[in-house]
Structure 1
Amino acid sequence: MNDAFDFGLILKGLRKEKGWTQEELANKINKESSIISRYEKNLQSPTFDTVRAFSALFNVSMDYLSGMERQSNISTIGLNEKQRNIITQLIEQFREHNVITSKQLTDKQSCLLGQILAEFLK
Structure 2
Amino acid sequence: MSFGKYEEAKQLFGDRVQTLRKERGITQEQLAESINKSVEHISYIERGERAPSFETILDIAEALKVSVPYLMNVTPQVEISTNFITDLQTPVVPPSLVQPVEEPVNTTKERRSDLERLQTALEAIQELQNLANEYGINDVFQDNGGKVLQVLILLGLRISPGREGNDAVDAEGNEYELKTINKLLSRSVTTHHHLNLDILAKYRAVKAWYIAVYEGILLKAVYKIDPSSLETKFGYWESRILGGMESINNPKIPLGLIEKEGEQVYPKQDNQPTQGKLPIE
Q: TM-score normalized by structure 1? A: 0.49
Which one has a larger percent strand, Structure 1 or Structure 2? Answer: 2
More helix by share: 1
**Length-normalised TM-score, structure 2:** 0.22
Which of structures 1 and 2 has the bigger CA Rg?
2
* Higher relative contact order (CA closer than 8 Å, sequence separation 6+): 1
